[in-house]
Chains A and B, each alone.
Chain A
Amino acid sequence: DQQVKQNSPSLSVQEGRISILNCDYTNSMFDYFLWYKKYPAEGPTFLISISSIKDKNEDGRFTVFLNKSAKHLSLHIVPSQPGDSAVYFCAASGRNSGYALNFGKGTSLLVTP
Protein backbone atom coordinates (compact mmCIF):
# COMPACT_ATOMS: atom_id res chain seq x y z
CA ASP A 1 0.00 0.00 0.00
CA GLN A 2 1.73 3.10 -1.29
CA GLN A 3 1.20 5.85 1.27
CA VAL A 4 3.32 8.40 -0.58
CA LYS A 5 2.74 8.97 -4.27
CA GLN A 6 4.61 10.90 -6.89
CA ASN A 7 2.36 10.72 -9.89
CA SER A 8 4.75 12.23 -12.41
CA PRO A 9 7.55 9.77 -13.26
CA SER A 10 9.41 12.43 -15.21
CA LEU A 11 9.60 16.16 -15.75
CA SER A 12 11.56 18.23 -18.26
CA VAL A 13 12.27 21.92 -17.62
CA GLN A 14 14.40 24.51 -19.34
CA GLU A 15 17.37 25.98 -17.52
CA GLY A 16 16.42 29.11 -15.60
CA ARG A 17 12.75 28.19 -15.33
CA ILE A 18 10.91 26.87 -12.29
CA SER A 19 10.72 23.13 -11.60
CA ILE A 20 7.71 21.98 -9.58
CA LEU A 21 7.69 18.44 -8.25
CA ASN A 22 4.54 17.15 -6.60
CA CYS A 23 3.83 14.57 -3.94
CA ASP A 24 0.63 13.27 -2.34
CA TYR A 25 0.23 11.23 0.82
CA THR A 26 -2.61 9.28 2.36
CA ASN A 27 -1.63 8.85 6.01
CA SER A 28 -2.82 11.78 8.11
CA MET A 29 -0.46 10.68 10.91
CA PHE A 30 2.59 11.76 8.93
CA ASP A 31 4.08 14.84 10.56
CA TYR A 32 7.42 15.26 8.84
CA PHE A 33 8.17 15.47 5.14
CA LEU A 34 11.46 15.38 3.30
CA TRP A 35 12.80 15.67 -0.23
CA TYR A 36 15.83 13.77 -1.42
CA LYS A 37 17.79 13.95 -4.65
CA LYS A 38 19.38 10.85 -6.08
CA TYR A 39 21.92 10.19 -8.81
CA PRO A 40 22.38 6.67 -10.24
CA ALA A 41 24.57 4.38 -8.14
CA GLU A 42 24.56 6.85 -5.23
CA GLY A 43 22.54 7.13 -2.06
CA PRO A 44 19.80 9.77 -1.75
CA THR A 45 21.03 13.23 -0.75
CA PHE A 46 18.89 15.17 1.70
CA LEU A 47 17.59 18.43 0.21
CA ILE A 48 14.96 20.03 2.40
CA SER A 49 12.33 19.10 4.95
CA ILE A 50 9.19 20.50 6.52
CA SER A 51 7.25 19.64 9.62
CA SER A 52 3.48 19.53 9.67
CA ILE A 53 3.25 22.68 11.78
CA LYS A 54 4.56 24.72 8.86
CA ASP A 55 3.27 25.31 5.35
CA LYS A 56 6.47 26.53 3.72
CA ASN A 57 10.19 26.11 4.11
CA GLU A 58 12.90 27.70 1.99
CA ASP A 59 16.55 26.90 1.50
CA GLY A 60 18.24 28.80 -1.28
CA ARG A 61 16.76 27.81 -4.61
CA PHE A 62 14.60 25.13 -2.99
CA THR A 63 11.19 25.72 -1.41
CA VAL A 64 8.84 23.08 -0.08
CA PHE A 65 5.14 23.81 0.32
CA LEU A 66 2.82 21.69 2.46
CA ASN A 67 -0.97 21.64 2.16
CA LYS A 68 -2.14 19.43 5.00
CA SER A 69 -5.83 19.59 4.17
CA ALA A 70 -5.10 18.31 0.66
CA LYS A 71 -2.36 15.95 1.88
CA HIS A 72 -0.11 17.42 -0.76
CA LEU A 73 3.38 18.82 -0.87
CA SER A 74 5.49 20.26 -3.60
CA LEU A 75 9.13 21.13 -4.18
CA HIS A 76 9.93 24.26 -6.16
CA ILE A 77 13.37 24.77 -7.66
CA VAL A 78 14.05 28.29 -8.89
CA PRO A 79 15.97 28.85 -11.07
CA SER A 80 16.52 25.33 -12.38
CA GLN A 81 20.05 24.39 -13.38
CA PRO A 82 21.35 21.47 -15.48
CA GLY A 83 23.06 20.09 -12.36
CA ASP A 84 19.61 19.66 -10.80
CA SER A 85 18.92 16.81 -13.23
CA ALA A 86 18.38 13.76 -11.02
CA VAL A 87 15.63 11.64 -9.49
CA TYR A 88 13.77 13.40 -6.69
CA PHE A 89 12.12 11.40 -3.93
CA CYS A 90 9.47 12.64 -1.60
CA ALA A 91 9.38 10.96 1.82
CA ALA A 92 7.09 11.18 4.82
CA SER A 93 7.41 10.01 8.38
CA GLY A 94 5.46 10.06 11.59
CA ARG A 95 5.92 9.50 15.30
CA ASN A 96 3.46 6.60 15.31
CA SER A 97 5.65 4.66 12.87
CA GLY A 98 8.93 5.48 14.55
CA TYR A 99 9.86 8.06 11.92
CA ALA A 100 10.67 5.38 9.35
CA LEU A 101 10.71 7.04 5.95
CA ASN A 102 7.92 6.21 3.52
CA PHE A 103 9.11 7.05 0.03
CA GLY A 104 7.36 7.88 -3.20
CA LYS A 105 8.57 6.20 -6.39
CA GLY A 106 10.45 9.30 -7.50
CA THR A 107 10.29 11.88 -10.27
CA SER A 108 13.11 12.09 -12.78
CA LEU A 109 13.90 15.74 -13.47
CA LEU A 110 15.75 16.77 -16.60
CA VAL A 111 16.89 20.38 -16.86
CA THR A 112 17.86 21.25 -20.41
CA PRO A 113 20.21 24.11 -21.34
Chain B
Amino acid sequence: KAGVTQTPRYLIKTRGQQVTLSCSPISGHRSVSWYQQTPGQGLQFLFEYFSETQRNKGNFPGRFSGRQFSNSRSEMNVSTLELGDSALYLCASSLDLAGDPEQFFGPGTRLTVL
Protein backbone atom coordinates (compact mmCIF):
# COMPACT_ATOMS: atom_id res chain seq x y z
CA LYS B 1 0.00 0.00 0.00
CA ALA B 2 1.45 3.38 -0.97
CA GLY B 3 2.28 5.78 1.82
CA VAL B 4 1.38 9.41 2.25
CA THR B 5 2.66 11.54 -0.61
CA GLN B 6 3.27 15.27 -0.59
CA THR B 7 4.00 17.63 -3.44
CA PRO B 8 6.09 19.55 -4.07
CA ARG B 9 9.00 18.39 -1.91
CA TYR B 10 10.76 21.73 -2.01
CA LEU B 11 9.47 25.25 -2.63
CA ILE B 12 11.03 28.69 -2.57
CA LYS B 13 8.81 31.75 -2.35
CA THR B 14 9.21 35.42 -1.49
CA ARG B 15 7.49 37.39 1.21
CA GLY B 16 3.94 38.37 0.40
CA GLN B 17 3.34 35.52 -2.03
CA GLN B 18 0.98 32.66 -1.39
CA VAL B 19 1.61 28.94 -1.63
CA THR B 20 -0.43 25.75 -1.96
CA LEU B 21 0.84 22.40 -0.77
CA SER B 22 -0.74 19.07 -1.64
CA CYS B 23 -1.13 15.82 0.25
CA SER B 24 -2.47 12.42 -0.83
CA PRO B 25 -3.26 10.16 2.15
CA ILE B 26 -2.86 6.42 2.38
CA SER B 27 -5.63 4.70 0.45
CA GLY B 28 -8.67 4.27 2.66
CA HIS B 29 -7.59 6.91 5.17
CA ARG B 30 -10.16 9.65 5.61
CA SER B 31 -8.46 11.90 8.13
CA VAL B 32 -5.69 14.25 7.04
CA SER B 33 -3.77 16.46 9.46
CA TRP B 34 -1.15 19.10 8.78
CA TYR B 35 1.82 19.96 10.96
CA GLN B 36 4.56 22.59 10.80
CA GLN B 37 8.09 21.80 11.91
CA THR B 38 10.55 24.58 12.70
CA PRO B 39 13.81 24.45 14.65
CA GLY B 40 12.48 26.78 17.32
CA GLN B 41 8.92 25.52 17.84
CA GLY B 42 9.29 21.88 16.90
CA LEU B 43 6.31 20.05 15.42
CA GLN B 44 3.05 21.94 15.76
CA PHE B 45 -0.46 20.98 14.73
CA LEU B 46 -2.10 23.16 12.08
CA PHE B 47 -5.47 21.52 11.33
CA GLU B 48 -7.26 18.27 10.62
CA TYR B 49 -9.76 17.42 7.92
CA PHE B 50 -12.20 14.54 7.84
CA SER B 51 -14.84 13.95 5.17
CA GLU B 52 -14.09 17.32 3.55
CA THR B 53 -14.69 19.21 6.81
CA GLN B 54 -12.19 20.90 9.07
CA ARG B 55 -12.67 19.06 12.32
CA ASN B 56 -9.87 20.53 14.43
CA LYS B 57 -7.59 23.55 14.29
CA GLY B 58 -4.37 24.57 16.01
CA ASN B 59 -3.18 28.02 17.03
CA PHE B 60 -2.15 29.44 13.70
CA PRO B 61 -3.29 32.69 12.05
CA GLY B 62 -6.00 32.75 9.42
CA ARG B 63 -3.34 33.02 6.68
CA PHE B 64 -3.06 29.26 7.05
CA SER B 65 -6.00 27.42 5.53
CA GLY B 66 -6.76 24.10 4.00
CA ARG B 67 -9.33 21.94 2.36
CA GLN B 68 -10.07 18.32 1.66
CA PHE B 69 -11.56 16.80 -1.45
CA SER B 70 -14.00 13.93 -1.81
CA ASN B 71 -11.13 11.50 -2.51
CA SER B 72 -9.55 12.55 0.84
CA ARG B 73 -6.69 14.40 -0.84
CA SER B 74 -5.92 17.63 0.96
CA GLU B 75 -4.37 20.96 0.18
CA MET B 76 -2.92 23.54 2.50
CA ASN B 77 -2.63 27.21 1.57
CA VAL B 78 -0.57 29.93 3.15
CA SER B 79 -1.27 33.48 2.03
CA THR B 80 0.86 36.60 2.46
CA LEU B 81 3.95 34.60 3.27
CA GLU B 82 6.27 35.79 6.03
CA LEU B 83 9.90 34.86 6.65
CA GLY B 84 8.81 32.93 9.73
CA ASP B 85 6.70 30.61 7.60
CA SER B 86 9.86 28.90 6.41
CA ALA B 87 9.45 25.37 7.70
CA LEU B 88 8.92 21.73 6.89
CA TYR B 89 5.20 21.15 6.38
CA LEU B 90 4.09 17.62 7.13
CA CYS B 91 0.89 15.90 6.25
CA ALA B 92 -0.33 12.88 8.21
CA SER B 93 -3.18 10.51 7.48
CA SER B 94 -5.27 8.23 9.63
CA LEU B 95 -8.28 5.99 9.12
CA ASP B 96 -10.21 8.18 11.53
CA LEU B 97 -8.50 9.85 14.45
CA ALA B 98 -11.47 9.31 16.70
CA GLY B 99 -11.27 5.54 16.36
CA ASP B 100 -7.62 5.06 15.45
CA PRO B 101 -5.26 7.80 16.71
CA GLU B 102 -2.18 6.50 14.89
CA GLN B 103 -1.10 8.94 12.21
CA PHE B 104 1.24 8.21 9.33
CA PHE B 105 3.34 10.99 7.91
CA GLY B 106 4.44 11.95 4.44
CA PRO B 107 7.96 13.13 3.59
CA GLY B 108 7.02 16.79 3.96
CA THR B 109 7.33 19.92 1.86
CA ARG B 110 10.28 22.15 2.68
CA LEU B 111 9.13 25.75 2.23
CA THR B 112 11.69 28.53 2.16
CA VAL B 113 10.48 32.13 2.23
CA LEU B 114 12.99 34.76 1.08
Contacts and interface: CB of A to CB of B under 8 A. Distances in A.
B102 A49 contact: yes
* Chain A contact patch, size range: 20 to 34
B107 A42 contact: yes
Nearest to A48: B102
B15 interface: no
Contacts of B113: none
A100 B45 contact: yes
Contacts of A102: 45
Nearest to B99: A99
A44 B106 CA distance: 8
B107 A99 contact: no
Interface string A36-53: 100001111110010000
Interface string B75-114: 0000000000000001010000110011111111010000
Interface of A: 32, 34, 36, 41-46, 49, 89, 91, 93, 95, 97-106
22 contacts: A34-B101, A34-B103, A36-B105, A42-B107, A42-B108, A44-B105, A46-B103, A49-B102, A89-B43, A91-B43, A95-B98, A97-B56, A98-B55, A98-B97, A99-B56, A99-B97, A99-B98, A100-B45, A100-B58, A101-B43, A101-B92, A102-B45
